[in-house]
Amino acid sequence: MELQLQYFLLLAAFLFCIGIYGLITSRNAIRVLMSIELMLNAVNLNLMAFSNYLDPENIKGQVFTVFVITVAAAEAAVGLAIVLAIYRNRDTVDMEQFNLLKW
Amino acid sequence: MDLAHGVQLVSFGILAAIAIVAALGVVLLQNIVYSAFLLGGVFASMAGMYLLLNGDFVAAAQLIIYVGAVNVLILFGIMLVNKQQDFPAIKGMWIRKGATALVGAGLLVLLAGTIVTTPWAISTATPTGDGSTLKIGEHFFSDFLLPFELASVLLLIAMVGAIVLARREFVPEDTPTTEEELAFKLPERPRETAAIAGGSQTSPE
């Protein structure tokens, strides 16, 4: 019995759904950022699995994964800076109180 | 990776179990510091998965960038906004959680159905294997040259933007009086203000 492509894809789908759940239900702004990182990791796992099983000669999926990791690092830095600025402004990290744009 | 199939399967099982348990912990635990450390566990097990998928360069990059940089950055963020507060309960929170769990489970079922039923065109070509680093380098400097250069510009922009956003804007009111105090607690202030206060040429007499 060999490792199948489907195993990796199923695991990635599960991690992505956990990330979506955390993204929507979290009250803490930093936990929201962590959920986004989870989802990005699930996508990376998908790309790597496709690269290994469907395109093992050119491995363009691995190149895409490196780019996704780069963008995720930039996103984490800017996201945490924004959370820090909001925290200084509103004195809380509760997502429910970031309602300046609520009508 | 030239491991036996059984070894691969067992290591996949262990890594998947670690990843799923740690991811659930990230989302469900109350203490956010535990969540941050478990997120490091998810990243590390993802690096193991990449090793199983013949991506040794990406596995190393994952360990260095995610575990070494992003996770530490998140821990610093938690430390900087370290406010122990109990969020006030909102009514209808359980409805939101239930609806989100329902949507997530539905999406999972949909994705799993698609994954299982799709006839994947599994390639039979010989895998690149251990030469993946060379191959990635060739891609970066031939057909992915423009995105590669743009990524460096993006990282520079993100660095400058993060510094600008996170810099403190106001100057604290309480300025220390004695010399000793001044040495120990210099107030954090923007560079322009400090330069004007320090230099006597620009200030009008």
- pLDDT tens, residue by residue, B152-162: 999 999 999 99
- pLDDT class for B205, splitting at 50, 70, 90? very low
Q: Is B79 domain-assigned?
A: yes
Q: Is B22 domain-assigned?
A: yes
* Residue in B58, B63, B87, B149 to test binding to A, most A beta-carbons within 10 Å: B58
Check: CB of residue B67 under 8 Å from CB of residue A74.
Answer: no
Q: Is B35 domain-assigned?
A: yes
- B182 pLDDT more than 70: no
Q: Is B57 domain-assigned?
A: yes
Q: Which CATH number is B58's domain given? A: 1.20.120.1200
Q: How many domains does one find in chain B?
A: 1
- The closest alpha carbon to A50, from A36, A65, A40, belongs to A65
Bigger pLDDT: B123 vs B114: B114
Candidate from A27, A41, A77 with C-beta closest to B46: A41
User: CA of B191 to nearest chain A CA: how many angstroms apart?
Assistant: 19
B68 contact partners, CB below 8 Å, separation of at least 6: none
Q: Is B93 domain-assigned?
A: no
* pLDDT digits 0-9 by tens, B33-80: 999 999 999 999 999 999 999 899 999 999 999 999 999 999 999 998
What does the alpha-carbon distance between residue A66 and residue A86 come to, in Å, rounded to a whole number? 30
- The closest alpha carbon to A78, from B147, B146, B161, belongs to B161
- B195 pLDDT more than 60: no
Candidate from B69, B108, B120 with C-beta closest to A13: B108
* pLDDT digits 0-9 by tens, B94-105: 899 999 999 999
Task: Average the pLDDT over B6-29 and give the result.
Answer: 94
Task: Average the pLDDT over B129-140 and give the result.
Answer: 88
Q: Is B144 domain-assigned?
A: no
User: CA of B175 to nearest chain A CA: how many angstroms apart?
Assistant: 20
Domain that holds residue B39: 7-83
Q: Is B105 domain-assigned?
A: no
The pTM of the full predicted model, rounded to 2 decimals, is 0.84
Q: Is B177 domain-assigned?
A: no
- B112 pLDDT more than 60: yes
Average pLDDT score over chain B? 84
